[in-house]
Amino acid sequence: MEQASSEPIDRFRWAQIGIDAAIVFGSYLGALVLRFAGKVPDKYWQHFFRFVPVIILVHLLANYSMRLYDRTRLSTGKEAGRLVWAGLGTMLLLGFIAGFISEGVRPLPLSVLILGATVSVLAFELTRFGWRTRFRFPA
């Protein structure tokens, strides 16, 4: 009996990681623009572009630590609870990091961190729901 190739699974994982990174970037960018009604002060733009790689990395590591990129999670609904916990953990971790690296001034407003993390988690779930309904992977 021929064993199925894991190539589609690997492609899915890399695609999902890339999509997750884009979601995080867009969520926090949208939250920042929304927070300042489109007129973001220059200092926050500078902080945003320095801080967004850390934010993306923290979100991806939280998703990875919750095993959201595992093959067994691709075709089941078990990941929904894990997404919620990963999102909550990410929000707490980002607030913790922001509190430590800020020297009297937060790099980004707390409202941006909370809204960005919340929108990211919701978008993660929507993309995974789309992947689950579009593709069927063996367990």
* Segments making up each domain of the chain, as ranges: 7-133
Residue type, 77: G
Percent of the chain predicted with pLDDT > 70:
65
| In contact, 21 and 29? CB cutoff 8 Å | no
* Helix (H), strand (E) counts: the chain: 4, 0
C-alpha to C-alpha distance for 9 and 136, rounded to whole angstroms? 11
pLDDT grade for 5, boundaries at 50, 70 and 90: very low
Structure confidence at residue 76 as a pLDDT band (50, 70, 90): low
Q: Which residue has the higher pLDDT, 81 or 30?
A: 30
Q: How far is CA 1 from CA 4, 8, 9, in A?
A: 9, 19, 20
Taking Cα atoms as reference points, which of 64, 108, 125, 123 lies closest to residue 89? 64
Task: Identify the pLDDT of residue 139.
Answer: 45
Model confidence band, residue 113 (pLDDT cutoffs 50, 70, 90): confident
More confident residue, 127 or 27: 27
Taking Cα atoms as reference points, which of 96, 24, 107 lies closest to residue 60? 24
pTM: 0.76
Question: Within 10 Å of residue 24's Cβ, how many Cβ atoms?
Answer: 26
